[in-house]
Amino acid sequence: MNAHCERVIGTIRREALDHILITGESHARHVLKTYEDHYNRHRPHQARDQLLPEAQQHPTAVHDLDTHRLHRTRILGGLINEYRYVA
């Protein structure tokens, strides 16, 4: 179990905490909660064959880029970006 905890802590440090200056406990809680939401809802996971945690199957490939536009959502001030297709 220790290896799993170390891996998660390392991921949090590399992807979020190494790039943000934490100014207090409430700021740290906000950053960690925001990253937790991103990690558990939007970030693809290698163990799931790069699927999102809530996805059941791979999305279909988009060949006509004129009909599908990408929408970017900035997380933690642009440190993390989430992308989605919009109609």
Note the pLDDT of residue 10: 92
Q: What is the pLDDT of residue 37?
A: 85
User: What SS3 class is residue 67?
Assistant: coil
Residues contacting residue 40 through CB under 8 Å, at least 6 positions apart: 53
pLDDT of res. 31: 93
- Does the pTM surpass 0.85? The reply is no
Residue 16 sits in which domain range? 2-86
pLDDT the model gives residue 32 = 93
pLDDT digits over 11-70, tens only? Answer: 889 988 999 999 999 999 999 999 888 887 777 766 666 666 666 665 556 566 566 677
Q: How many domains does the chain have?
A: 1
- At 81, which amino acid appears? N
Structural tokens at position 44: 């693809």
